[in-house]
A and B are shown apart, each in its own frame.
Chain A
């Protein structure tokens, strides 16, 4: 019991982050965000109207939105793989940058598993309907 509780407490501690630190990190970005929204400007316009703010941002290519450091997996800019996508997308960010052959196998396995589930569901429904019909 003691081991279980301390193990759980350790897990709960993993779900924390330093909020104050994070907001300090993003202080400049928050300021730029407010300016952009209040003035309804594009990046090109920002470079003219507020060079200091524009220089704080870094876009390799404003029409290819991604983090400059990461090679985008499957050709998708990496920020799309972030929190707007679910678990598979996130895992692919990690795996595709390390072992392409293994990820392809995992993907095929996912598809096969889903197809099997679908077939079993159809059989289940058919059995229920069949049982109902024969009892009438």
Chain B
């Protein structure tokens, strides 16, 4: 009887175990370019994320060498291997594009695990557009979100405010396959603040999935709380 209980547990949890262990870490070079009015920023580095360790690490090379570590409710910044600054933040590692990809939630942008619910789905040529609306108690705070997918890959996200004005658009392009994991290597964001567009392009290169040759950056040493 005990053996049958164990089998039952495994049957229920097996799909989650199998996919859950399939992709567990991702790293890659990133470049962020931002443009607002007459100002511009360029940030270059390498990111590391292991969903089991749940530390998100950015090893920045430009503008100046520094390391950012997101862990639980802390953002720790290191300069020259020395702790430079600690900031309290919300714990949102699991909402990053890296976590969504590793957990196969990128296509719905992780929305099914948020305050949003699917309202309807429409097809336009080769594009499928889904409309997500906030659940009742949040609909006086948030607007709807539109997602577009093509060939079963997320291609666009549009955020509206509660007055139904567009506040941001995101486009996911240049998908590549890394050991079976599809990941967009270019993300374009257009943020509308007071109706002004702010542009932001992130590109990824040299991505590695499930690289176990070195754990140092995935588990970057941080002071114990």
Interface residues of A (CB under 8 A from B): 4, 7-9, 11-12, 14-15, 17, 22, 25-26, 28-30, 32-33, 36-37, 40-44, 56-59, 62-63, 65, 67-70, 74-76, 79-80, 82-95, 102-103, 105-107, 109-110, 113-114, 125, 128-129, 132-133, 136
Contacts and interface: CB of A to CB of B under 8 A. Distances in A.
Contacts of A57: 40-42, 63
A87 B63 contact: no
Contacts of A33: 31, 33, 42, 44
Given A43-B64, A75-B87, A93-B191, A58 B39 contact: yes
Contacts of A80: 68, 75
By secondary structure, the B interface counts as strand
Interface string B150-179: 000001111101000011111100000000
Contact of B100 (A58, A86, A132): A86
B52 to A, nearest CB: 19
Give 4 closest A-B pairs by Cβ, nearest first: A86-B95, A43-B63, A58-B39, A12-B124
A67 to B, nearest CB: 6
Given A29-B42, A62-B63, A86-B95, A9 B89 contact: no
B9 A129 contact: yes
B19 interface: no
B90 A17 contact: no
A86 B63 CA distance: 25
Given A67-B36, A88-B95, A8 B159 contact: no
B122 A132 contact: no
Interface of B: 1, 4-5, 8-9, 12, 31-37, 39-44, 47, 60-66, 68, 75, 77, 79, 84-85, 87-90, 92, 95-100, 109-111, 113-116, 122-125, 127, 129, 131, 137-138, 141-142, 145-146, 148, 155-159, 161, 166-171, 187-191, 193, 198-202
A83 B92 contact: no
A107 B110 contact: no
Nearest to B127: A12
Given A26-B35, A76-B75, A14 B146 contact: yes
B75 A79 contact: no
B12 A11 contact: no
A29 B92 contact: no
Nearest to B170: A83
A26 to B, nearest CB: 6
